[in-house]
Structure 1
Amino acid sequence: MNNYLFFLEQVGEYVILIPALLGTCLSLTGRQAKLRVVELWGPRLQALIGGIGVIIHELSHLIVALIFGHHINHVTLLHIPNPRDPSDTGLGVVNHAWNNHNWYQKMGNFFIGIAPLLGCTLVLWVITNWLCPFLLVDLALPTYGSAPVSWWRLLLWLFLTFNISVGGFDLSGADFHNSLMGVGTLIIVILFITLALAITMNPQSFHTQLIATMKTVYLIMAFSLACNLGWIGLLAIVKHYR
């Protein structure tokens, strides 16, 4: 029993709690960054500043919805709002339907709702590996290649990271609502998976592997959060002196 509680604590803390806190902060700061852009320059510019992130955001919803067998009704990966229409504020949408009596599809709502957090983090890791893998090597994080340090690689990495951070991590109210619908089923599945891990794995080995894996996720999300906070601060200065 103690072994099972140890595994449950590890999964709850490192896989659920810390990513949830970072994801919530990312979503809130991303939303604030977009709102401040709209206040200063109108709704269209937010699509330019964070457009790549928006596309990854919606693609993440779409891919995970398909994985969980949801029916896709309508997809818009990037929408440029009409400045003359105050109600036209959406930048993208994935409209999907599911069978509420199917536990797999119902649980999928949780992952579909948070999919942009997972998708943007994964894309940022791939981009960093491609353009600036030395950053991961210096932090003793997993990397799959090496590339020469050059100004254009660093500049492109900064541009893409900033765009994705500002535009991709912002979860809408509908995203949070969808996630809540799948929480109950997800908790039951996590309890069974944790039990299987407790039976088959050594606690110390599991802890070491878990920390090594999640450290990459934490650092990428933390850097994206820093991008959002820096952008919000810069916009506050621009607004002050405008």
Structure 2
Amino acid sequence: MAAWILETLTELLTSAGVFLGFVFFLYFLQVLACGLAMRQFGGKGIYLSAIVGTPVHEISHAVMCLPFRHKIDEISLFKPDGSGTLGYVTHSYNPSSLWQEIGNFFIGAAPLFGGTATIYLLTSLLLPNSQEIFQTIQASVETYVSVSGVISFFTALYAALSDLASVLFVTAKAEPLRFALWAYLTASVSLHLSPSPVDMKGSVKGFILLVLVIAGLRYISYSTGEALFDHLDGIFLSLSVTYSLCILLAAGMALIFFVLSLISPKEQGN
């Protein structure tokens, strides 16, 4: 059984490889952009994006509590405390329930999916050529299918970002005000889309149990397990190409903060 567990873990990490690459890169941009904002505008500089991104982040946690039957004890969509906490969701559950324990993993990772859904919604509502943007993202799927190494990954990333930038540039010229509003809102969501260290810590046990359940399923019915992995491959790939857009927006906001730090004096204190 140990071999099945190890193989299942390897399969999961392989399926999510490109997706995890995007998540880590996006987290790097989040740290960079927020650090530049705080250095330029003081400790409250992070509020420029957090006032939009944090509520989406916390709502994602709260919504994911529902299917796993976790009780939401308290929720604060945006309540900075000066120590790094911008918002929070506290929830309780029955630790003897396998379903609720596994739910901790999905609750912790929920902003990755809730943030993506929010970006799709904002794009549909605010940009007249949203369908063209979605088609450009989807067209990148085939590119990432062949990714097998670091060089291939960044080559595919560059191509995807270039295609997206071209489509977005057309929109920016045609509808500059709507584009600016969309860019600010979606960049703010992107910068607070990654799970926090606290989220990841709370997800560890749930992830371990999830791996054990999938390994057991594959042990009982190998064909069912493989069908599950095929389905997961498609989900991870679709999320990955969507994150190309998130990366482009987050990088854009980081660049704005960097330029501001060069052309204007820094604020002192908070």
TM over 0.5: yes
8 Å Cα contact 1:64/1:111 also seen in 2: yes
Extract unaligned runs of 5+ from structure 2. Answer: 1-6, 140-170, 266-270
Mark the CA change 1:171 to 1:212 in structure 2 (over 3 Å): closer, same or farther: closer
* 1:41 aligned partner: 41
Q: What does the per-residue CA deviation read over 1:175-223, in whole Å, with 9 as the maximum and x for residues that have no partner?
A: 11011121211102333556788525997xx85x766654431122122
* 2:123 aligned partner: 128
* 1:75 aligned partner: 75
Report the alpha carbon displacement of residue 124 of structure 1 after superposing the two structures with TM: 1.4
8 Å Cα contact 2:50/2:86 also seen in 1: no
Report the alpha carbon displacement of residue 27 of structure 1 after superposing the two structures with TM: 2.5
Residue 225 (structure 1) aligned to one of 237, 247, 253: 247
8 Å Cα contact 1:51/1:78 also seen in 2: yes
Provide the rounded CA distance (Å) in 2 between the counterparts of 1:95 and 1:226. Answer: 32
* 1:13 aligned partner: 14
Which amino acid in the other structure matches residue 154 of structure 1? F
Q: Say which SS state the counterpart of residue 128 (structure 1) adopts.
A: helix
After TM superposition, the structure 1 = structure 2 runs for residues 92-171 of structure 1, keeping only pairs within 5 Å, are 92-130=87-125, 131=127, 132-140=130-138, 151=175, 152-166=177-191, 168-171=192-195
Mark the CA change 1:187 to 1:240 in structure 2 (over 3 Å): closer, same or farther: same
Provide the rounded CA distance (Å) in 2 between the counterparts of 1:20 and 1:103. Answer: 26
Which amino acid in the other structure matches residue 94 of structure 2? N
Mark the CA change 1:196 to 1:155 in structure 2 (over 3 Å): closer, same or farther: farther
Q: Say which SS state the counterpart of residue 39 (structure 2) adopts.
A: helix
* 2:55 aligned partner: 55
Provide the rounded CA distance (Å) in 2 between the counterparts of 1:29 and 1:108. Answer: 28
Q: Say which SS state the counterpart of residue 90 (structure 1) adopts.
A: coil
Mark the CA change 1:200 to 1:183 in structure 2 (over 3 Å): closer, same or farther: closer
Provide the rounded CA distance (Å) in 2 between the counterparts of 1:196 and 1:229. Answer: 45
Which amino acid in the other structure matches residue 106 of structure 2? F
Mark the CA change 1:216 to 1:183 in structure 2 (over 3 Å): closer, same or farther: closer
Which amino acid in the other structure matches residue 227 of structure 1? L
RMSD (Å), alpha carbons: 3.1
* 1:3 aligned partner: none
Normalised to the residue count of structure 2, the TM-score between the two structures is: 0.68
Which amino acid in the other structure matches residue 159 of structure 1? Y
* 2:211 aligned partner: 187
Q: Say which SS state the counterpart of residue 66 (structure 2) adopts.
A: helix
Q: What does the per-residue CA deviation read over 1:108-166, in whole Å, with 9 as the maximum and x for residues that have no partner?
A: 1111111111111122123333432221134446xxxxxxx651543333222112112
Higher relative contact order (Cα pairs below 8 Å, separated by 6+ residues):
2
Provide the rounded CA distance (Å) in 1 between the counterparts of 2:220 and 2:181. Answer: 43
8 Å Cα contact 2:217/2:224 also seen in 1: no
* 1:236 aligned partner: 258
Bigger mean CA offset, 52-61 vs 37-46? 37-46
* 1:145 aligned partner: none
Which amino acid in the other structure matches residue 189 of structure 1? V
Provide the rounded CA distance (Å) in 1 between the counterparts of 2:83 and 2:12. Answer: 40
Mark the CA change 1:7 to 1:172 in structure 2 (over 3 Å): closer, same or farther: closer
Identity of aligned residues (%): 23
Provide the rounded CA distance (Å) in 2 between the counterparts of 1:184 and 1:201. Answer: 17
Q: Say which SS state the counterpart of residue 91 (structure 1) adopts.
A: coil
Report the alpha carbon displacement of residue 107 of structure 1 after superposing the two structures with TM: 0.9
Mark the CA change 1:218 to 1:177 in structure 2 (over 3 Å): closer, same or farther: same
